[in-house]
């Protein structure tokens, strides 16, 4: 195991502890940013070790599940301490994660893969299954609350929240069953795709467990440092006069860094199927696990919760899904498709800053 692979998470953990004990000066902020980047690099490395040991699609599921669980903890902790001002934080973060993944992550993976390999292939059945579940989850959780009439605009009643939570969890569990049991072959790399893992011996069980432990440490450091830096980020957003929704975008970007890096590396290595497994699986977990957890917390602790998107955001979400349907509808990708996704990603960021 390389020295940096375990030293970076440990240094990040020490800086995370120091950030709780000391005031955040400029030097400590810069050190935390460097530690955050180092923890992301370590997380990707250890996720790849675990993935090599357990094989696809379990490896991508491990990273997506681990990051989403910690993301849920981050959202809940901010909601508990932020009060009514954070009623829309879960919505903003989930929407940002879905848009970042469907336009940004997928776009850059398709573009990078196409630049290096011209065209890349993937299993149409797996991508379509994931996209169908994602459209349904996003519609139930983020779109319908804007149009229901039993409660104020953008909110659900308690019974509607319960239905959305149960439906989200059920759809996510169904997808995991399909991905890992019933139709596992839909999510394996096509037989003609290059895969360097075939030519390397898998790590030992002890090495895989060590990497799994260090992966957990790295992810805790990533999310912990993201939370530590969030007041600085929020202050910068307010100083710049940007909308509060930008805070959710920044949080989603920080949390998704490890998965994004891993997905781009896989696409560059001509393993686009792995990239899509990571990207779409993360988006599904982001809704399927976050909504039930947030709903339970909101009902139990009587926290305000706004889920419905604004008309502009609903339009952006619909465009992202329409383009994704076209991109994932042929089983092959090229440069043009990646460019379209990235233009939508740029539009999402621009309109978030200039609504």
Q: Which CATH number fits the domain that encloses residue 43? A: 1.20.1420.30
Q: Which long-range contacts (CB under 8 A, 24 or more apart) does 209-214 make?
A: 210/1, 211/1, 211/5, 211/45, 211/46, 211/49, 211/50, 211/53, 212/46, 212/50, 212/62, 214/5, 214/6, 214/9, 214/42, 214/46
- Residue-level pLDDT at 274: 87
Burial label for 90, CB within 10 Å (0-12, 13-18, 19+), is buried
Number of H helices, E strands in the chain: 13, 2
pLDDT in tens, 280-333: 988 898 888 889 988 998 888 888 899 999 999 999 999 999 999 999 888 889
d(CA 137, CA 169): 9
∠281-282-284 over CA atoms, to 5°?
A: 65
- Residue-level pLDDT at 167: 95
Q: Look up the domain containing 296 and give its range.
A: 3-353
Tell me which residues of the chain have a pLDDT lower than 50: 192-199
Cβ–Cβ < 8 Å for 134, 280 = yes
The count of structural domains within the chain is 1
Q: Considering the entire predicted model, what is its pTM?
A: 0.82
- Residue-level pLDDT at 57: 64
Contacts of 277 (CB under 8 A, 6+ apart): 56, 57, 60, 61, 126, 179, 187
DSSP state of 269: T
- Residue-level pLDDT at 231: 76
Q: Which residues pair with 333 in a beta bridge?
A: 120
Cβ–Cβ < 8 Å for 153, 308 = yes
Tokens of 194: 């290059």
3-state secondary structure of 307: coil
């Amino acid at each position: 195991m390389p020295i940096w692979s375990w030293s970076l998470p440990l240094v990040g953990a020490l800086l995370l502890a120091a950030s709780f004990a000391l005031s955040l000066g400029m030097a400590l902020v810069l050190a935390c940013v460097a530690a955050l980047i180092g923890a992301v690099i370590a997380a990707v490395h250890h996720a790849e070790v675990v993935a090599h040991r357990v094989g696809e699609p379990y490896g991508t599921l491990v990273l997506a599940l681990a990051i989403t669980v910690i993301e849920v903890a981050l959202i809940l902790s901010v909601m508990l301490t932020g009060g009514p001002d954070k009623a829309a934080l879960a919505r903003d973060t989930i929407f940002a994660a879905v848009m970042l993944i469907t336009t940004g992550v997928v776009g850059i993976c398709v573009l990078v893969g196409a630049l290096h390999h011209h065209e890349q292939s993937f299993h149409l059945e797996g991508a379509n299954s994931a996209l169908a579940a994602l459209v349904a989850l996003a519609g139930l959780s983020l779109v319908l609350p804007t149009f229901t009439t039993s409660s104020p605009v953008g909110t659900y009643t308690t019974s509607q929240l319960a239905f959305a939570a149960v439906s989200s969890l059920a759809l996510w569990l169904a997808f995991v069953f399909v991905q890992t049991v019933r139709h596992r072959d839909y999510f394996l790399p096509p037989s003609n795709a290059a895969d360097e893992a075939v030519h390397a011996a898998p790590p030992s069980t002890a090495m895989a467990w060590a990497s799994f432990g260090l992966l957990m440490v790295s992810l805790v450091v990533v999310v912990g440092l993201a939370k530590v830096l969030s007041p600085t980020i929020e202050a910068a957003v307010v100083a710049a006069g940007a909308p509060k929704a930008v805070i959710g975008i920044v949080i989603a970007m920080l949390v998704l860094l490890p998965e994004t890096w891993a997905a781009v590396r896989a696409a560059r290595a001509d393993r686009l199927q792995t990239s899509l497994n990571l990207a779409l699986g993360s988006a599904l977990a982001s809704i399927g696990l976050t909504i039930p957890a947030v709903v339970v917390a909101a009902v139990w602790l009587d926290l305000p919760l706004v889920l419905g998107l604004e008309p502009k955001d609903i339009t952006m979400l619909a465009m992202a899904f329409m383009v994704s349907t076209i991109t994932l509808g042929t089983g092959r990708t090229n440069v043009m498709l990646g460019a379209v996704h990235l233009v939508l990603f740029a539009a999402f960021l621009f309109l978030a800053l200039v609504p």
